[in-house]
Amino acid sequence: MPSGAFQYKFKSAWWLPEGHSQTLWRKFAGSPAVNHVRERVELSDGDFIDIDWLTAEERAKNSAQPLVFILHGLCGSSSSSYVLSLQTLLIENGFNSVVMNFRGCSGELNRKAQAYHSGVSHDLEEVLRNVIRQHKPEAVSLVGYSLGANVLLKWLGEHYDYSKVDKAVAVSTPFTLGLCSREMLSGLSRIYGRYFTRRLLSDYLHKRKEFELQDKGPELEELLGLGDVSRVSNIWEFDDQITAPLHGFESANDYYGRCSSIKFLPEISASTLLIQSYDDPLVPPVALPEAGMVSESTVMELSPKGGHVGFVSAQNSNWLEHRILKFLRD
């Protein structure tokens, strides 16, 4: 496969003809039942992250078998349908896998005022190092979806030590965060923007209320210091009034500029596959990298159809999962 090339592979199912139907299929198609084994990783700043394993048996976590490390998307978790579908296919084909739930995404409030965002590569670094140190896998492949894909590509481009990393796959990456945020302010994409904004704002207000009840002191002060955010009505406002100040950025634009994975792509040296669609309702074509912007170790498969983490073909409803598996095997 030629380096830095754009490949066209996917053909959509005729009954899911455009990006919205492909995207929504993931939400309503259901997912397989999975029995996760949870492990808590204590972080150096006093917080924690929960990771969820799917292995053939418990002792397999501590084996030398290759491991697939998975990162979910915005408002997702280890229970997201795309995660469960991938883990099910992986275990059927002899791959152990573990999902990193970003801070506050595992069903339990995290301890710090800070949560997660599209640039938390330091959390990926700390958790991945912990997994490698504790369980000593022979090699690790990483798969990220949407926000998790952006975090993954940023981490790969920041020159962390990834000598144990075999391959990486990023699906439906919002490469240019500002343009993707703007896309959700108009047209049909506003549906997704409103959904994410409601979820994120509800989670924030719930956390603030719980911290008040628990009298969390400095952590509560950080949340209260953001002022009245009740009028936040879209994803850009949420990032400008909550995400940015809470995580050390001057504004939404500062956050987007510093965390967009597009500027990290040329520095990636691991064998990496980017799976992207041209009709993604959350990632407009203008937000995509051009062929010359990816490193020689990276291949981008840009399909005319597929939506956002959709990629349902007429021949195989799990086309995306099988494409990831094929890349990990090749």
**Active site residue: 50, 123, 279, 280, which one?**
280
| Tokens 């955010």 sit on residue | 229
Half-sphere exposure of 125 (CA within 13 A, CB side): 15
Quote the CA–CA distance of 222 and 111 in Å, as a whole number: 12
**Active site residue: 78, 146, 181, 261, which one?**
146
Q: Is 31 a catalytic residue?
A: no
DSSP strand pairing (140-145 vs 67-71): parallel
Q: Is 308 a catalytic residue?
A: yes
Which two tokens mark 220?
């509560």
Q: Which DSSP string do the residues of 131-190 spell out, in sequence order?
A: HHHHH--S-EEEEEETHHHHHHHHHHHTT---TTEEEEEEES--SSHHHHHHHTTSGGGH
Residue 296: how many other CB atoms lie within 10 Å: 12
Which two tokens mark 248?
């050390």
Quote the CA–CA distance of 293 and 307 in Å, as a whole number: 22
Q: Tell me which residue of 294, 330, 269 sits closest to 4, measured CA to CA.
A: 294
Angle ∠(66,67,70) on CA atoms, nearest 5: 150
Quote the CA–CA distance of 143 and 120 in Å, as a whole number: 15
Specify the amino acid at residue 107: G
Q: Is 141 a catalytic residue?
A: no
**Active site residue: 20, 117, 135, 308, which one?**
308
Quote the CA–CA distance of 150 and 285 in Å, as a whole number: 16
Active-site positions? 146, 280, 308
